A = this chain, B = another copy of it.
Amino acid sequence: MPQTPHIERHFTGTETVRDIVIGMSDGLTVPFALAAGLSGAVDTTRIIVTAGLAEIAAGSIAMGLGGYLAAKSDAEHYHAERCREETEVTEKPEAEAAEVADVLTTYGMTADETTPVVEAMRTRPVAWVDFMMRFELGLEKPDPKRALLSAMTIAGAYIGGGFIPLGPYIFLPKASTALVASVAITLLALAVFGYVKGHFTGAPPVRSAIQTVLIGGVAAGAAFLIARAIS
């Protein structure tokens, strides 16, 4: 029963969680790795905080504004494809009826068995277009209110995540001390975030925690080694 209001609410909840996961994954990881990398090249934290805040601004805007414009484009793409399907259902009903039969025969139905479905579609043009959008083109109707909310959620999660690794550099003057504190706090935060993320996405939480820590650790380690090598 995928179309009931209850399930629709469930999907909306999942989309917000997904947006937070998208924003916070990168927000915890990239500013963390950048700050750790710069700690391998400079002694004082002032330049690291400047770079970290510039990165948080750049990353949250790139992800948030980029996501907003992508969602707007998706909505326009859906609308354009829907108009095309509506025209085709009206002007070339025989070709569209054959496409319904084609979709169903890929699931092992014979041409005879598809006939009642095709006839049912012919009497209900709106449902027919719905069917073609989902089953022929694989497109889901976008929620017009999601784009802005999604963009703000992703950007906010990126900023919230980014201040966790940056915090020690803001409060401690020496880069090497701040690095140790940042690594400890951020790896803990990545583990907790990965565990909670696994709970929401259905992945085994402990493995999700290990994977999330691994991504952050590898990214920060690589950034540190590169920055130290060139400085």
Contact = CB atoms under 8 A, between A and B. Distances in A.
A223 to B, nearest CB: 4
Contacts of A106: 2-3
A196 interface: no
Nearest to A29: B62
Contacts of A54: 33-34, 37-38, 41, 223-224, 226-227
Contacts of A73: 201, 203
Contact of A42 (B47, B126, B131): B47
Contact of A33 (B49, B57, B109, B211): B57
Contacts of A50: 37-38, 41-42, 227, 230-231
Number of identical protomers: 2
Interface in A108-135: 108-110, 113, 116-117, 119-121, 124, 126-128, 130-131, 134-135
Interface string A190-205: 0000000000011100
Nearest to A102: B1
Contacts of A3: 106
13 contacts: A1-B102, A25-B66, A37-B54, A41-B54, A49-B230, A58-B220, A61-B222, A62-B219, A73-B203, A107-B128, A108-B127, A116-B117, A117-B117
